[in-house]
């Protein structure tokens, strides 16, 4: 079975631009969550979607948005990029939220210049 | 603001040594505690999902314990091998949100 796939793997954007990151979960997983990881810190929770509905949102500005599609894939959108948005963005899928482990993709490395 | 802490921040051990790390988390409104291993250039991989106070889980040379009343979990590695070198993350679930600790970076020297 294919694991969680994320695209693109790397991305360079300029301040003020917009970016869309994509994630395909493991087949059968209906829950997808997004995390931002900067060097020296653990992953920070951004969003969780389950059955196409937002179920949780972390402490991130409204410039960050996401959605989940009928096939359970997901997009993370970030508007008006800032230098501080440079990070590794991880997507994870799972069967049920707390009793099942998260399965992570390899991440998208975003650099904002 | 919920805070999950891990100690030590980094650790260097010799091959064959046994070692352990600590994860501390707020004990109120606890749902679950996860441990992940994150090797360089790979994605984080689940080691354990623990939900009950007193839980003990084992996977080969790695084991973990959970104390939900005092808010801590220990991860033990017996007879460390170079392939155990990785960052070990713990995450505690509050509501719908996972809060991750900063990780413990383990280096096992041959």
For B1-110, where are the E strands, in sequence order?
Answer: 5-7, 10-14, 19-24, 32-38, 45-50, 56-59, 62-67, 72-77, 86-94, 97-100, 104-109
How far, in Å, CA of A108 to CA of A23, rounded?
A: 10
**List of chain A residues whose C-beta atoms are within 8 Å of the C-beta of residue B96:** 48, 55-56, 97
pLDDT at position B94 is 83
Query: SS3 for B28-52, per residue?
Result: CCCCEEEEEEECCCCCCEEEEEECC
Residues of A contacting chain B (CB within 8 angstroms):
3-4, 33, 35, 40-45, 48, 55-56, 58, 90, 97-107
The dihedral region occupied by A107, where left means phi > 0, alpha psi between -120 and 50, and beta the remainder, is left
For residue range B62-99, what is the model confidence (pLDDT) as tens digits?
999 999 999 999 999 999 999 999 999 999 988 778 99
Interface of B with A in 45-84 (CB under 8 A): 45-46, 49, 51
pLDDT at position A2 is 78
Q: Are A87 and A110 in contact (CB under 8 A)?
A: yes
For residue range B32-45, what is the model confidence (pLDDT) as tens digits?
999 999 999 999 99
Mean pLDDT by 10 residues, chain A (113 residues): 91 98 96 94 94 92 97 97 98 83 96 98
Q: Is 70 exceeded by the pLDDT of residue B11?
A: yes
């Amino acid at each position: 079975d294919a694991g969680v796939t994320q695209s693109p793997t790397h991305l360079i954007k300029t301040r003020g631009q917009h970016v869309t990151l994509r994630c395909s979960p493991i087949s059968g997983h209906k829950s997808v969550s997004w995390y931002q990881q900067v060097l020296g810190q653990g992953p920070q929770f951004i969003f969780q979607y389950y059955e196409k509905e937002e179920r949780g949102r972390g402490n991130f500005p409204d410039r960050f948005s996401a959605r989940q599609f009928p096939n359970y894939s997901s997009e993370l959108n970030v508007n008006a990029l800032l230098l501080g948005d440079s990070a590794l963005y991880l997507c994870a899928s799972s069967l049920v939220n707390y009793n099942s482990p998260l399965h992570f993709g390899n991440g998208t490395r975003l650099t904002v210049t | 603001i919920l805070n999950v802490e891990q100690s030590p921040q980094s650790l260097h051990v010799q091959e064959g040594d046994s070692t352990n790390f600590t994860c501390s988390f707020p004990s109120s409104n606890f749902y679950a505690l996860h441990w992940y291993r994150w090797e360089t250039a790979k994605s984080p991989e689940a080691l354990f999902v623990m939900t009950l106070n007193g839980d003990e889980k084992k996977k080969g040379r790695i084991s973990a314990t959970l104390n939900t009343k005092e808010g801590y979990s220990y991860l033990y590695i017996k007879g460390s091998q170079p392939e155990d070198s990785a960052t070990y993350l713990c995450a505690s679930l509050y509501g719908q949100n996972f809060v991750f600790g900063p990780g413990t970076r383990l280096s096992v020297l041959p």
